[in-house]
Amino acid sequence: MSKGSDNANTTKENILNTTLELITTEGLENVTLRKIAASANVNLALINYHFGSKDKLVNEALKRLLASLKKLFIILDDFSMPPKERLKTFMIQYANSVLQYPALFREVLGKGDLIFESQFEYKDYMRTMGVNKIKDTLKEITGEEDSDTLSMMMVQLHSAIFFPSLMACKKNAPLVWKQIPIETQIDYLFEHYFAKYI
């Protein structure tokens, strides 16, 4: 790889990382290409050269974040850990990602005004693989065979973790959600939710 392409990759990485940070701190609707350029210490033409538009840049940033989330599902395939530990580890890391980028997660969940191609890719992954990995792990933990029951359990667990995680990022969130670490919340949930399966 030539030095020029190394510099281009570094610049592109800088722009993507800056975009993610600005979306996190200011919200997607408040981020402009000018703000990104100023924060990344690059000129606007360079952003246009690498990405073409704000939508394409945000889509690429979302794609990067969602790719990292897909990698978390590998935890559920690590059969050297007991199933409950796999699920707990997965949920802690997933929740920490939500806490790191709450504005992006609201967009991914369709709570924002913008729609990006990467949202559809991630939702398709969840529908075809992610949901099944979670349900299979729940089946291992509980012995439950009914797919609808496993789906309901998955929704309940996700709601119990991700709703507080998203709420903790809001300025006017109840203090308790901000004070209790997500690991502690998940430990407590698992102790009670899976008590009869120990």
Residue 12 CA, chain-centre distance (Å), reads 21
Q: CB–CB of 66/121 below 8 Å?
A: yes
pLDDT at 173: 56
Whether the per-residue pLDDT at 8 is higher than 70: the answer is: no
Closest CA to 160 of 147, 177, 137, 135: 177
Whether the per-residue pLDDT at 91 is higher than 60: the answer is: yes
Whether the per-residue pLDDT at 1 is higher than 60: the answer is: no
Q: What percentage of the chain carries pLDDT values higher than 70?
A: 78
Q: Higher confidence at residue 18 or residue 66? A: 18
Q: Higher confidence at residue 148 or residue 7? A: 148
Task: Name residues whose C-beta falls within 8 Å of residue 68's C-beta, 6 or more positions apart in sequence.
Answer: 97
d(CA 42, CA 40): 6
CATH class of this structure's domain 1-52: mainly alpha
Q: CB–CB of 141/87 below 8 Å?
A: yes
**What ranges do the domains of the chain cover?**
1-52, 61-197
Whether the per-residue pLDDT at 7 is higher than 80: the answer is: no
List pLDDT tens digits, range 145-198.
999 999 999 999 988 887 776 666 566 655 555 577 888 889 999 999 999 886
d(CA 48, CA 37): 10
pLDDT at 169: 59
Q: CB–CB of 47/15 below 8 Å?
A: yes
Q: What is the mean pLDDT of the chain?
A: 82
Task: Name residues whose C-beta falls within 8 Å of residue 86's C-beta, 6 or more positions apart in sequence.
Answer: 75, 76, 78, 79, 137
Q: CB–CB of 79/97 below 8 Å?
A: no
Cβ atoms within 10 Å, residue 61: 27
